[in-house]
Each structure stands twice: as structure tokens, then as C-alpha cells.
Structure 1
Amino acid sequence: MMDRPVPPRLLREPFGILADGTAIERLRLLGDGGFEVAILTFGAVVQALHVPDRDGDSVDIVLGHDRLAPYASDRRYFGAAVGRYANRIQGGSFTLDGIACHVPANDGPNALHGGPDGFDRRVWSVEAVTDGPAPSVTLGLVSPDGDQGFPGTLSVRLTYALTGPRELSIAFEATTDRPTLVNLTHHGFFNLAGVAEGGDVLDHVLTLNADSYLPVDALAIPHGGPAPVAGTPFDFRSPKAIGADIRAAHEQVRLGRGYDHNYCLSGGRTRVPRLAARVEHPGSGRVMELMTDQPGLQFYSGNFLDGTAEGKFGRLHRQSDAFCLEPQAWPDTPNRGDFPSARLDPGETYRHVSLYRFSTL
């Protein structure tokens, strides 16, 4: 009897063509039981993530688009790889080894997510693919010296891999030929109920393993140092619905229009990923656990989704229709000597590993 052919676990397909004629590819990594992730070469975007519920029904749980054009025309960071510096740099300026560096402002007076032409706007190359039980794809990007004002030529490799039955690994590596600053992250917008289902995430139950967070000013720049979460709406050390305190009369909630703050993770930067956050959706039973080796985690409750972005399934995304958990260095670290450093020197390798592990209640 002939053996049946093993179906592929990695599929490559066209996803559209940019205005300059560049073809964009979608790579799908297929797991078991309907678990699947789709990645674009534009922005290294996670375009879709299908996860089963308690009944085994698998649906897409991340915001995004069905077509290439909205990714190229509207910068909303849906599922993108963000760099060179995730989060904000005050005034778009910093000094490194006595040299003043300027990143063009794109968030009021500040630089956000690498400036106006960050890594989420770039076409990444496919450097390696692996089929089989643990499919993976490695994407590459070279950012030249002076790109968006950052010193040094930065070579980046980003690997997406299915490393468990329902586990997605996202691993960054980067090297430089001059001293520079690096802070890369994945900017997924999650709704564990499913994007097609619609609705907000205020009933999702969140746990964050952090005793402190960074209060911000009116421009979302940290002021002062870490503040304890105890006794504030920012305390998620025990499981709590995202919406439980989102309308509390607290100055930081008012400034962020909800949550848009860095949590200072216990243990700082670690050698191996540890549990940073857990999110449960009671309705579907889906659970997401996030493990990371990074010192900070930006929790964003989708405050600025305003109904103008048309996503997949013909949905208009509105406030709190998704949440983001972005593992990274702390914001404005280039201007804060008291924050954990984001410096990278020649001969060193920047590494960032985050694991997204899914299960059911």
C-alpha cells in the first residue's frame, strides 16, 4: 500500500502588487485543528490568525485587511513588525555618544514606531522557509545608516514559527555596524471572540504580571519613573475584565482615553521568555498567554479605533474592538538614562523572543 502524501504545512500565495510594481506575498503556516497564521512580506504583517474555540471552531482573531491596498495607504499598524524603535521618542530626538540624532516626528512633536517610514512600511525579503510539523518563515530587512535618523546599518531577521500545537513564536534578531538603538515588536490587534463576530474586548479577562507601570503626560511620553499599579485601574495582577475600570475617574485613564501604557514586567529583560500576560474570553473559551523576554509590555485597549478603518469581513473597527500587548523596551528610553537600555553595539546581537500560546477554558 502506498503512503499517502503529507499535505504541506506552509503555503505561499500572491497578495497583491504595490504601486511601484513590487509583488507582495502571503505565507501561511498551518498547524493542527484549524490553527493557522498568515504573514505578509509587506510590513512583516500577521494578516490572519485562526484559533479554535472550546468547541473546535476556528476563526480569525486579529484585525487586518483582505487586500493589500489598505495596508499600503493607511498606516494603522495592524499586525505589523514595528521598528527601529517601537513606541515614542520625545521630540523625535536623542543623543548617542555625544551625537545628536533626529527622527522625523509623526505623532505630534514625537516620533512613533520608528518615524513616518518605519519597518511596518517596508517590503521584507523571504530568507528561509521550513515545511513540516513545525512550519516557519524567516523574513529579512536591511535598514541603512541614517534611515529615519537612526545611526548604523541595521540587519534584521524575523522568524515566525509554529512551535507547539497552538503556539506562535515571533523571534527578532538584529546586528549593526555602528552603535545604535533598537526596539522591535509585533503590533497585533487581538479580539479573541473573532473579528467576523464583531464587538468590543471589554469583557476579555486580562492578567498582567507587573507591579508597576509608566504614567505619561498629555503627549503619551513617560514622566517620572515607574509607579505602583496597586490601588489604581492599572492593577491587572489578578484577573480582571479589560472594561472593569476603563471609565474610572483616574488622570492616567483620561490622558490615554483608556489604557495605552507601558507595564514594567517583573524581572526586566530575561534570558528566556516568561509569562507576561494572559487573556481569557469567557464566551468562546479562547485563552491567549504571552511569554516574552522583553522588559516592558505596552497594553493598548484600542482607544483610537474610530470607525474609519474597514477591516476584514466588511467590519468597521471602533473603540475597544481589539487590544494590543506589545513586548518591547520602555518608551523614550533613548532620552532616559534611568530606563533599561536599548543600545546595540557592533559585535552584539539584539534578540527578542515572544511566544503566543493559545488554549481554551
Structure 2
Amino acid sequence: MTASNKDLFGLMPNGEEVHSYGLQNANGMSVKVVTFGATVSELKVPLKNGKSIDVVLGFDSLEGYLQSFQLAGAPYIGATVGRYAGRIHNSTFNLNGQKILLNKNNNNNSLHGGLVGFSQKVWTVTNETFGKEPAITLTYTSPANEENYPGDLTVNVTYTLTEANELKIDYSATTTEDTVVNLTNHSYFNLDGHSSNLNEQELVVNTDQILEITSEGIPTGRYLQVENTEFDFLTPKKCPSVIDNSFVLHNKNEFAASLFSKKNNLKMIVFTDQPSVHIYVGGNCSNKIKGKENADYHPLSGICFETQNFPDAPNQDHFPSALLKKGDEYTQFTTYKFESF
């Protein structure tokens, strides 16, 4: 609480140092953030019985994260995702009359920023706040034409542990040219502990609509009602074994989603000002890489709540705009609040 714990986490192939930083609030809730990908590697939440539980997936070393991005379906465990979270159809969009052609990394599409997105960059710690509500800010400047996106984009991500046992994430970005931006966090949550499974945990998503998608996960532009479908999570239902869908959020003043563990009597509530929460279950390490504490991560190890703008918004005029103009500032926040019963 008086200082962050800074540790060497590993060396990049070029010798650049990667560090982990630990924060703890007055209640004993703690988080570890790694400068590779501005990644949440550990999140320990205190329970009513005096124990604490690590509720996010992660790796013990930098090598685990580096290896995970070599997998056929990289899981992006705990990472900050950008420059554009989600898929962009055919890896192209038009901006100011110019056709932008991005790198393809998901069939013909661009996913989560392209071949080497923000999740694989080493970020710089630019601010730390100590005391009851400790915080850390990480910064990355993406040069113009990285992954073929226009403009130098400077991004700040601030993680704060509040006194209400929340992990709050504040994002901001500015650009030297008009560009598009969509940032999110890709943590996999499991309220029974990172080495457990989601089978018995209950999911609520506070909306009656999802985006219709093609077989490649690209939005068609249509909104679908969830009533009487497998995507109706307005009332608590067990976590699905596979899901990869964007839910449309209508009210920024209400919660977006929640997860509840009967085993630990622990609830997580997700808040955001973004128009969508993308729910994803199914990430795994193909039994090729061990998670932290030698855990075997499988498709039901964790669930992602990717709060963000809609996928492919640059190609859909009626979607919320992803345009960030020179001179303007992109901001968004996401809060994961934990309640122990």
C-alpha cells in the first residue's frame, strides 16, 4: 500500500527488460500487472472466510506469454488489446476517402490489432499512486503505420484498486492523424480460482440484444433479440461451454454483466461506458503451455468480458463510431467489482 512491488519478469528476445508490478488495497485485494502487453497476470480477491482467491488466468514467466502468442489461436491472456479489439472485415476500412489495408491474422480479417498488436508490446510505467487506492499507469506509443494504422497513437492504461474492491481500468489515447481505436482488456476470469473450471458459475448479461455475426465472427450489421435463445442471460444461467459474441449495452448507468460462484460466495460485476461487452469462453493453451502454478488451461478455464466498441465498426456506418480525430481524446473505463458473501 505504501509502495508497489517491482520485479524483473523476464527479457524480450532483443534483451529488453519486462517487469511486473504489484498493488494492494487496504482490504488485502491485490493485482499484478506485467509491462508486456500491459497485462493483468494475477488478481487476488479476499473472501469472507479470510482466504483469498486468484481469479484470473496467467503465466509465471514472460516465456509463457511469449509462447502463447505462437499458438494457432493465441489466447491473449490478461492483455490490453489494440489498436483495434475484435475483428475488422477483410482487414480493410475507409478513412477520409482513403482505403486502409491492415495485416491479416484471422482468416482474411484483422483481429485484436493484427500480427503484433498492443498485447505483444512492452509498455512503460509512467505513473504510480500509493495509499488506500493504489494505481499504476502504463503507456505505449504506436508509431504511424504500425500494422498499417494511420497516426502515432499514444495510449495510457491505468489500473486502480479501489476501497470497494474494484479493479478499475481507465483508458485514454491521442493521435497525430485521424485513425480508429478500440481498446479492451482480455483477462480470463474464474471465481473458483484460475486452475478450476467455469461449469457451475452463473452468468448474467444485462441486455436483450446481440450482434448477428457471420461464420467468421464478423457482424452483419443486424441486431438480434436474445429472448428465447441460447444468448438470453438476463437471468442467471450457467456459463456456456463456448461463446464468442458481442452483447449490445443500452444503459451506461447500469451494470453490463456479472459472474457468481456459489462455491466461494463471490460475485463479480462488470461496469463500462462502452457500447458492447464481448463474452468469450473457449480459450486454451492446447496442452502445450502450462499456466501459472503449473495449471492446465482448457476451454472452460476462464471467461472474458471484453468491454469495447463493436467489432468492424469502421465498416458499419450505423455502429458507434470508432474514429479518433487528431486533436481529440479517446477515453473509456471498465470496472470489475467483487463482492464476497
The answer to whether the Cα contact below 8 Å between 2:221 and 2:316 also exists between their aligned partners in 1 is: no
Kindly name which structure, 1 or 2, has the bigger radius of gyration based on alpha carbons.
1
Mapped to 2, the partners of 1:345 and 1:359 lie a distance apart of 39
Per the TM alignment, residue 222 of structure 1 is displaced from its structure 2 partner at its CA by 1.3
Q: Which residue of 1 aligns with 2:258?
A: 278
Q: Which residue of the other structure, out of 177, 200, 203, is the alignment partner of 1:203? A: 200
CA 1:274–1:349 in 2, change beyond 3 Å: closer, same or farther? farther
SS of residue matched to 2:90: helix
Identity of aligned residues (%): 36
Indicate the larger mover: 165-174 or 27-36: 27-36
Q: Which residue of 1 aligns with 2:275?
A: 295
TM-score (norm 1): 0.90
Q: Which residue of the other structure, out of 286, 293, 303, is the alignment partner of 1:323? A: 303
Runs of 4+ in 1 over 4 A off after TM superposition: none
The answer to whether the Cα contact below 8 Å between 2:25 and 2:162 also exists between their aligned partners in 1 is: no
Q: Which structure 1 segments of 5+ residues have no match?
A: 1-6, 247-257
Indicate the larger mover: 296-305 or 44-53: 296-305
Q: Deviations over 1:220-264 (max 9, x none)?
A: 111241100111010011111114xx5xxxxxxxxxxx2100000
Q: CA RMSD in A?
A: 1.4
Q: Deviations over 1:27-85 (max 9, x none)?
A: 11112343100001110000100012331211211111001112123223110000000
Mapped to 1, the partners of 2:267 and 2:285 lie a distance apart of 23
Q: Which residue of 2 aligns with 1:81?
A: 80
Q: Is 1:46 paired with 2:62?
A: no
TM-score (norm 2): 0.95
1:233-272 correspondence to structure 2 within 5 Å: 233-243=230-240, 258-267=242-251, 270=252
Indicate the larger mover: 221-230 or 52-61: 52-61
The answer to whether the Cα contact below 8 Å between 1:9 and 1:30 also exists between their aligned partners in 2 is: no
Mapped to 2, the partners of 1:360 and 1:74 lie a distance apart of 32
Q: Which residue of 1 aligns with 2:148?
A: 149
Mapped to 1, the partners of 2:338 and 2:124 lie a distance apart of 28
Aligned length: 336
Q: Which residue of the other structure, out of 330, 338, 341, is the alignment partner of 1:358? A: 338
Q: Is 1:10 paired with 2:4?
A: yes
The answer to whether the Cα contact below 8 Å between 1:297 and 1:326 also exists between their aligned partners in 2 is: yes
Q: Which residue of 2 aligns with 1:129?
A: 128
The answer to whether the Cα contact below 8 Å between 1:8 and 1:131 also exists between their aligned partners in 2 is: yes
Per the TM alignment, residue 307 of structure 1 is displaced from its structure 2 partner at its CA by 3.1
Q: Which residue of 2 aligns with 1:344?
A: 324
The answer to whether the Cα contact below 8 Å between 2:81 and 2:112 also exists between their aligned partners in 1 is: yes
Q: Which structure 2 segments of 5+ residues have no match?
A: 70-74
Q: Is 1:314 paired with 2:308?
A: no
Q: Which residue of 2 aligns with 1:252?
A: none
